[in-house]
Structure 1
Amino acid sequence: MALHTRDGGFVMPNAWDGLSALMLADAGFEAIATSSAALAAMLGRPDGRHEVTRSEHLEHAGLLARLTGLPVNGDFEDGYGDTPEDVAATVEAAVEFGLAGIGVEDTSGDPDQPIRDFDEAVHRVRGAVDAAKGRIAVTGRTDNFIQGRPDLDDTIRRLTAFAEVGADVVFAPFPPDLDALEAIVTAVAPTPVNVLVSPSDKVLTVAELQKAGVKRISLGPFLYANAMAALEQATKALVAGDLAAATTGLGFDRIGELIARGKN
């Protein structure tokens, strides 16, 4: 938690495989996270629909932690279970796999009712906190804004409740603008706030987010999407017969260097 409470906070990029985790570690980042969306896409499955199992995500997150030696935060969707007891079991497993943090959303995996009722959401975060016993940082997250519920008051109510039951960090992806983000930061203070890239209306700089009081900035699936955009461009070059453009990329010497560092 020291990274969350120091002046300025920190940037926590999300890796999706061993090499991406090693590249982020080599670049000097002090902590990394998984991305449920990137992991699901890597497996050819939709995100947020309970199609990636808890054990798959744990093995994935554990690999990133072992390779890098960095604190790893698990983006564990709804905690992989309907009940607070299920969520607690996921937290216990995350501790056993050596993770430093875990996120628990108020999502349900049901497209017809994607956000859980307030009381249920709070009970599930409390279950995570009780299981954590200070051994792992718990992030309480509401997905109101990305699930078609642009209700700032309810978002603040949920995040405040998560903080009150002991969540170490709170998180609501893509508030509509900077004013909404600052309202969240003020309402839950002194609990640290995570932001996914920026508010939805404008991509800000790290310095601007820190000035607004944000303590942790995550990237979610966006680095993965950036890499896939490069792959798509290479694919188009290949279709056009341009082998040179299609095969320009990171050298195998560099890849080998990174992997060797991970083994050491």
Structure 2
Amino acid sequence: MDVQTAKYNRFKALHYKSKAFVIPNPWDAGSTRLLSSMGFEALATTSAGYAFSVGKRDSFAGLSRDELLANAAAIVAATHLPVSADLEDGFGPEPETCAETIKLASQTGLVGGSIEDATGDADHPIYEISAAVERITAAAEAAKGLPFLLTARAENHLWNRNDLKDTIRRLQAFSEAGADVLYAPGLPDIEAISTVCREVDKPVNVVMGLTGASYSVAELSAAGVSRISVGGSFARAALGALKRAAEEVLGDGTFFYAKDAMPDSVVSQLMSQDKENERN
């Protein structure tokens, strides 16, 4: 069995444990190495976190498939853990584009990825359900025979379309179309999360660390959740720490922030020990 298939098997099995597992979202190789050292069992990329790291907004217009897959490849190379990817809307409206995205993602060493039903068009933010299902169907067909776990995302609640029945209907249709994991970011409360988990027949991912109520791993597990991600919130937490340190220096002229900083010796141990063969 090759390494990628072994990672895929480990990743898939995590979704069927009795307790939900947390899949944190690093945004580059360095954050990947840190999170890999801490006992997590899998990782996922974050388009938001990557965008912030290169000074861009998290948007369809600002991020290309090539750069996000290059970021994903760097994350895969920096860890021994299975990695899934935020593949946004599949990087195009056509089902064929979604299928090609899945194939390219698998070639980077990723063992999973998500396709969402958001359009990127503020006037018409969500694909009609028939088009959304066609896109997931094409992605699922592309994933057949590959060591790749497909997550389908229903984005209603991120676009103020707070129709839980429609969200569930979409997730059920995505499951029938071949998705392995179902995901509706932005669900309003634990009751809605529990309802989604009861009404679908595949493992459910939820995201914590965004807006709204926060629930523990134990509470989410009891509600039926299989996987918990954090989206771009770890990246925003890092930016928050940077901002607080800078504000202290500018405002107070002190440097007490350094007491909470990770020691250089610890950081050095986490990072690659590879050396360049030649130096100019």
TM range (shorter): over 0.9
Please point out which of 122, 128, 139 is paired with 2:133: 122
Tell me whether 1:62 sits opposite 2:73 in the alignment. Answer: yes
Q: Identify the residue that residue 108 of structure 2 maps to in structure 1.
A: 97
Tell me whether 1:172 sits opposite 2:184 in the alignment. Answer: yes
Is the contact between residue 20 and residue 220 of structure 2 (CA under 8 Å) also seen in structure 1? no
Three-state SS of the structure 2 residue aligned to 1:170 is strand
Q: Identify the residue that residue 35 of structure 1 maps to in structure 2.
A: 46
Q: TM-score, normalised by structure 2?
A: 0.89
Q: Identify the residue that residue 160 of structure 1 maps to in structure 2.
A: 172
AA aligned to 2:44 is A
Three-state SS of the structure 2 residue aligned to 1:226 is helix
Structure 1 unaligned segments of length 5 or more: list them: none
Q: Identify the residue that residue 252 of structure 1 maps to in structure 2.
A: 264
Q: Distance in 2 between matches of 1:111 and 1:260?
A: 42
Q: TM-score, normalised by structure 1?
A: 0.95
Q: Distance in 2 between matches of 1:262 and 1:157?
A: 50
Q: Distance in 2 between matches of 1:254 and 1:13?
A: 20
Q: Identify the residue that residue 7 of structure 2 maps to in structure 1.
A: none
Tell me whether 1:73 sits opposite 2:84 in the alignment. Answer: yes
Distance 1:177 1:198, change over 3 A: farther
Is the contact between residue 141 and residue 159 of structure 1 (CA under 8 Å) also seen in structure 2? yes
Q: Identify the residue that residue 217 of structure 2 maps to in structure 1.
A: 206
Distance 1:227 1:177, change over 3 A: same
Q: Identify the residue that residue 224 of structure 1 maps to in structure 2.
A: 235
Distance 1:194 1:237, change over 3 A: same
Distance 1:151 1:200, change over 3 A: farther
- Count of aligned residue pairs for this structure pair: 262
Distance 1:122 1:31, change over 3 A: same
Q: Identify the residue that residue 6 of structure 2 maps to in structure 1.
A: none
Shift of residue 153, structure 1, vs aligned partner: 0.6
Is the contact between residue 139 and residue 170 of structure 1 (CA under 8 Å) also seen in structure 2? yes
Shift of residue 41, structure 1, vs aligned partner: 1.7
Q: Identify the residue that residue 226 of structure 2 maps to in structure 1.
A: 215
Is the contact between residue 32 and residue 73 of structure 1 (CA under 8 Å) also seen in structure 2? yes
Q: Identify the residue that residue 194 of structure 1 maps to in structure 2.
A: 205
Is the contact between residue 107 and residue 115 of structure 1 (CA under 8 Å) also seen in structure 2? yes
Shift of residue 49, structure 1, vs aligned partner: 2.4
Shift of residue 112, structure 1, vs aligned partner: 1.6
AA aligned to 1:41 is F
Q: Distance in 2 between matches of 1:113 and 1:48?
A: 15
Shift of residue 240, structure 1, vs aligned partner: 2.1
Shift of residue 134, structure 1, vs aligned partner: 4.5
Structure 2 unaligned segments of length 5 or more: list them: 1-11, 276-280
Is the contact between residue 33 and residue 74 of structure 1 (CA under 8 Å) also seen in structure 2? yes
Three-state SS of the structure 2 residue aligned to 1:74 is strand
AA aligned to 1:9 is A
The percentage of aligned residue pairs carrying the same residue is 40
- Kindly provide the CA deviation profile for residues 227-255 of structure 1, in whole angstroms up to 9, marking residues without a partner as x: 11111100101212534225441121111
- Kindly provide the CA deviation profile for residues 122-154 of structure 1, in whole angstroms up to 9, marking residues without a partner as x: 110111100001420000001100111000010
Shift of residue 200, structure 1, vs aligned partner: 5.8
Distance 1:62 1:93, change over 3 A: same
AA aligned to 1:8 is K
Is the contact between residue 210 and residue 233 of structure 2 (CA under 8 Å) also seen in structure 1? no
Tell me whether 1:108 sits opposite 2:119 in the alignment. Answer: yes
Q: Identify the residue that residue 246 of structure 2 maps to in structure 1.
A: 235
Q: Distance in 1 between matches of 2:256 and 2:127?
A: 47
AA aligned to 1:153 is K
